[in-house]
Amino acid sequence: MNINELNTLCTLCGTSGREHAVRAYILDELKKAGVPDSAVTVDRLGNVLVHITGEKRPKHKVMFSAHLDEVALMVTELNGDGTLSFGAVGGISAAAVIGRQVLVGSDQIHGVIGTKPVHHLSKAERTQPADFSALYCDIGTASREKTAALVSPGDIIYFDTEPMTFGDGSYAAKAIDDRFGCLILLVLIRKYAENAEYDTDFAFVVQEEVGLRGAGVAANAVQPEIAVIFEATTAADLPDSHGTERVCELGNGAVISFIDGRTIYDKALYDHATACCEKNGIPWQTKKKIAGGNDAGAIQHAGNGVRVLAVSVPCRYLHAPVSVIRLSDAEACERLAELLMLTLRSDFEGEL
């Protein structure tokens, strides 16, 4: 796993509908990898579609997919005291952002997310969950006029998080969901783009966090028979979680889902992926709880229907200013991705 590149990808700022910086990085890396311009399409939504032409047509047309966007906040109003009101882009808990350092707007102005001090809260307020309406972003200005010279409604507020490795092989950063998946796709393209044996399609898609919007458009354009989605998924393996509530766990390997809140995954693909892991000594696990969802939910019913598989790295504190994964799990996902790249286009025999 290339930690330096994961650092770079996670540090980039690109929420739903504002994926420009991440897309620019991907396009530059595709060029460096020798992918011809004729093989790359950027559609009207901003999806990056890559078609690698090989020596042969695969038995099954396969698309590998990951999403470019991350959760963030959006400025909704400039207040009289110079602070900013905001809402969430994607599913974020208000409690998770209090006190966080942030970057605001295209100039990435430094700010802090604030709320009423705890000693000013009423007894009732202390028992209520945090709400975005009670939060504000402080960029250090003293009036609305001074703030208006720097920020406008619609500007994005990103979490200012420095990636780090720590503890027992752990890694922390913002936007692991889904810059990790983007990294997996880049790894596959770099390894197999030159002298490719089979035609293969890749999709770096937009606006997953606000309703899987880019993935459906991409799948309708590519018309794959099989799609593999690389993601980060919730690990709730915390002291107060037990049984299925833990969902999946750090350190137990790649997560291969058979069902989630949006998708029932193809059984033959699930069996193929788990068999690849067992045969090659790759640690793997599945989700213990039917929850969440990813771009498979939109890809599955595109065109005449697509058989889907999801491979995810287990991730604590998903959709928060900082998330945590275990590097051994990331490496398991990468190993499995390479095996799927080699096998799904040639010797996969699974039928419905």
- Let me know if residue 56 belongs to a domain: yes
Tens-digit pLDDT profile for residues 121-157: 555 555 566 789 889 999 999 999 999 999 999 999 9
Name the residue among 184, 198, 127 with its Cα closest to residue 330.
184
CA dihedral 282, 286, 186, 20 (to 10 degrees): -160
Catalytic residue among 70, 208, 209, 249: 208
Is 60 in the same domain as 196?
Answer: yes
pLDDT score at 79: 96
Instruction: For residues 178 and 163, give the distance between their C-alpha atoms in angstroms, rounded to a whole number.
Output: 14
Question: Residue 75: what are its φ and ψ, rounded to 5°?
Answer: -65, 130
> Which amino acid, one-letter code, is at 302?
A
> Which amino acid, one-letter code, is at 288?
K
Identify each DSSP E strand in the chain by its residue range. 40-42, 48-52, 62-67, 72-78, 84-89, 101-104, 109-115, 135-138, 156-159, 164-166, 170-173, 200-205, 226-234, 254-256, 284-285, 307-315, 323-326
Is 59 in the same domain as 76?
Answer: no
- Let me know if residue 167 belongs to a domain: no
Is 294 in the same domain as 250?
Answer: yes
Name the residue among 178, 136, 143 with its Cα closest to residue 157.
136
For residue 278, indicate whether it is catalytic.
Answer: no
CATH code at position 314: 3.40.630.10
Tens-digit pLDDT profile for residues 83-119: 999 999 999 999 999 999 999 999 999 999 998 555 4
Is 311 in the same domain as 322?
Answer: yes
CA 179 from chain centre, in angstroms, equals 5
Is 79 in the same domain as 107?
Answer: yes
At residue 239, does pLDDT exceed 60? yes
pLDDT score at 244: 87
Is 135 in the same domain as 261?
Answer: no
**266 in Cβ contact with 300 (< 8 Å):** no
Is 116 in the same domain as 52?
Answer: no
Task: Please spell the DSSP secondary structure of 122-153, one letter per residue.
Answer: -HHHHHSPP-GGGEEEE-S-SSHHHHHTT--T
More confident residue, 352 or 210: 210
Tens-digit pLDDT profile for residues 9-27: 999 999 999 999 999 999 9
Is 60 in the same domain as 77?
Answer: no
Domain boundary among 159, 187, 220: 159
Instruction: For residues 207 and 142, give the distance between their C-alpha atoms in angstroms, rounded to a whole number.
Output: 35
CA dihedral 103, 73, 45, 194 (to 10 degrees): 50
Instruction: For residues 89 and 16, give the distance between their C-alpha atoms in angstroms, rounded to a whole number.
Output: 7
- Let me know if residue 198 belongs to a domain: yes
Is 147 in the same domain as 232?
Answer: no
pLDDT score at 130: 76
Instruction: For residues 318 and 239, give the distance between their C-alpha atoms in angstroms, rounded to a whole number.
Output: 17
Tens-digit pLDDT profile for residues 287-335: 988 888 999 999 999 999 999 999 999 999 999 999 999 999 999 999 9
Instruction: For residues 340 and 202, give the distance between their C-alpha atoms in angstroms, rounded to a whole number.
Output: 13
pLDDT score at 162: 96
Domain boundary among 124, 159, 194: 159
- Let me know if residue 185 belongs to a domain: yes
At residue 251, does pLDDT exceed 70? yes
- Let me know if residue 351 belongs to a domain: no
CATH code at position 84: 2.40.30.40
pLDDT score at 221: 97
pLDDT score at 131: 84
Is 194 in the same domain as 257?
Answer: yes
Is 194 in the same domain as 327?
Answer: yes
Verify cis geometry, omega within 30 degrees of 0, for the bond prior to 178. yes
Pairing between β-strand 170-173 and β-strand 40-42 as defined by DSSP bridges: unpaired
At residue 120, does pLDDT exceed 60? no
Instruction: For residues 164 and 312, give the distance between their C-alpha atoms in angstroms, rounded to a whole number.
Output: 20
Specify the number of domains making up the chain: 2
- Structural domain containing residue 88: 72-159
- Let me know if residue 350 belongs to a domain: no
pLDDT band at 187 (very low <50, low <70, confident <90, very high): very high
At residue 211, does pLDDT exceed 60? yes
Domain boundary among 126, 159, 192: 159
Name the residue among 71, 30, 1 with its Cα closest to residue 203.
30
pLDDT score at 136: 95
**85 in Cβ contact with 152 (< 8 Å):** no
- Let me know if residue 349 belongs to a domain: no
Average pLDDT, the chain: 93
What residues contact residue 306 under an 8 Å CB cut-off, 6+ apart?
63, 219, 224, 225, 226, 227, 299, 300
- Let me know if residue 348 belongs to a domain: no
Is 109 in the same domain as 39?
Answer: no
Tens-digit pLDDT profile for residues 31-78: 999 999 999 999 999 999 999 998 888 888 999 999 999 999 999 999
What residues contact residue 324 under an 8 Å CB cut-off, 6+ apart?
170, 171, 172, 250, 315, 316, 317
Instruction: For residues 223 and 47, give the distance between their C-alpha atoms in angstroms, rounded to a whole number.
Output: 15
Local structure of 256: helix, strand or coil: strand
